[in-house]
Amino acid sequence: MQRIRLALLLLCAFASAFIVGVQLGLNMNHDPPDYSEQRPGHSSRITQQRKDSPYFTADDAEWLDAWTKVSSNVYVYSAYLDPRLGPDATVVRVVGLARLSPALKVNYSCLIDDRPGKPAPPVVAKREFLQDHHHAKYDGVFITCPYHLTNDSETPQTVRVVVTGAETGKSKSIPVHYRRPTLGTHEMGSLSLCVRPFYGGVPKVHDLRHFVAYYSLHGVQRFTFYAYDSRDDVNDYLRTLGREGLKVDLFSWSLPAAKKSWALAQNAFTQDCLYRHANASRRVLIVDLDEFVFPLPVRGKPRTIAQLLAKLPESKACIVVRNVFWVRAASRMDRPFIFASLNRSRRVWPTGLRSKYFADPLEVLEGGIHFCRRFLSGGRNRDKQLTVSQALLFHYRGVRGETYARDTSMLVWEKPLMNSPLMPKPEFWRGVASKVRNVLRNSVDVVSRLIQR
């Protein structure tokens, strides 16, 4: 019996040495190349595009926005024609940033260019600070410019914002976006996703791969990213996703004053995301890169986000998903952290605290960070908003003070994700090492039980 135990221990030691050797060889000799090296046929085109601009959009180039300075403490990012309240209440809605504290005593006006060859008369504008500012020095704002269509006017093309008072300035012309409703756009159930400006560092490409692959399995058809800072490999990878049948946007979010606002002006980004997807997507999900919506299985069978949303009332403009924290494990290309992380908080956080949501962009007037803040018209907020019990937001970020327990529920998506066409095919020996490693994990348990007998 003693010889059998010794032989089993030697077998485990040999297998462990084999795995370590294979992994070391893979790590030393086969570092994952960047995406342009994997597809050399496209590298020159990507490089040429990068020289022009690292940013791009699935829409027309006119929808490619950037921060513009108006005055010392006022900035604007994008503008949208908003006719939802009728012809007498139509506005050009500008998303921007302004100093909140100390209060900035200025007046706002707009020059809306809608008559070719004729000067734009100034119109008095209203400034609204956005909620969820956490009393930071700068806050996101709506600058709403009343707009009345006349016989000789066309759909507004551009707008300039003017500031007078304690400080003065005028922005350059920024495009006014408006996507006309098309038959079936709002009813077809299309689902888009926005990721807030890269926060806490630029993500690794393999983490982005896992994120996009997961949500594409769940029915997301369009991904919109905002980069306060980025890298060429990240930009190149996101650009290639268009060749995989996905719609992808990458917008610049570079603004020094954003660091003096809450989370890089997160509330301003939220509004831009919602208004940008109006008349393009039925629902828009707004999350961070470490947040994964997990629909709870039905009778033991997994279901997608798209399947979940199809069962919910159409009248609800905001679908809120409650947060659960996970201790985040390290990730590799062949082992996403959502499958390596197996310790989940026992507490499910209430609505409004760390929660995220799916919004109907045509019905929401102001989106919040954790729930919708204002709706277009009619009814009480609680009649427009629904917190679902059929899904949770898995947030892979360990938090002190939580009680954690083992949970393997996310593993139901491991095989579909790793087999996704958005994931690169593993090299032969990398696949062998992965299979042997899994066998070894199981054999160690068997050996341990035999030795303890």
Residue-by-residue pLDDT tens, the chain, 453 positions: 565 555 555 555 555 555 544 444 444 333 333 333 333 333 333 233 344 688 999 887 779 999 999 999 999 999 999 999 988 999 999 999 999 999 899 999 999 998 887 889 999 999 999 999 999 999 999 999 999 887 667 789 999 999 999 999 999 999 999 998 876 655 556 999 999 998 777 899 999 999 999 999 999 999 999 998 889 999 999 999 988 889 999 999 988 888 899 989 999 999 999 999 999 999 999 999 999 999 999 888 999 999 999 999 989 999 999 999 999 999 999 999 999 999 999 999 999 999 999 999 999 999 999 999 999 976 667 789 999 999 999 999 989 899 999 999 999 999 999 999 999 876 644 555 666 666 665 555 555 555 555
Any idea of the CA torsion for 15, 16, 20, 23, to the nearest 10 degrees?
60
CATH number for the segment(s) 66-177: 2.60.40
Give which of 156, 86, 143 is closest to 114, Cα–Cα. 156
Measure CA 113 to chain center.
32
Reported pTM: 0.82
The two three-digit tokens of residue 234, written as one number: 């990240």
DSSP letters, 289-354, are: TTEEEEEPPBTTB---HHHHHHTS-TT-SEEEE-EEEEPPPP-BTTB-HHHH--EEESPPPPTTSS
Dump strand ranges (E) for 201-351: 222-227, 247-252, 283-287, 291-295, 318-321, 323-326, 343-345
The residue whose two tokens read 């888009």 is 192
The two three-digit tokens of residue 158, written as one number: 């551009």
Q: Which helix (H) or strand (E) holds 449?
A: helix 428-452
Q: What is the pLDDT of residue 36?
A: 33
Ramachandran class of 222: left when φ > 0, alpha when ψ lies in -120 to 50, beta otherwise = beta
Residue 215 Cα distances to 110, 210, 289, 300, 305, angstroms: 40, 9, 11, 20, 8
Q: What is the pLDDT of residue 29?
A: 36
Q: What is the pLDDT of residue 244?
A: 86
| Cβ atoms of 322 and 332 closer than 8 Å | no
Which phi and psi angles does 67 have, rounded to 5°?
-65, 140
Q: What is the pLDDT of residue 11?
A: 59
Domain ranges of the chain: 2-30+427-452, 66-177, 191-418
Pick the CATH number of 191-418 from 3.30.70, 3.90.550, 2.30.30, 3.30.530: 3.90.550
Q: What is the pLDDT of residue 438?
A: 63
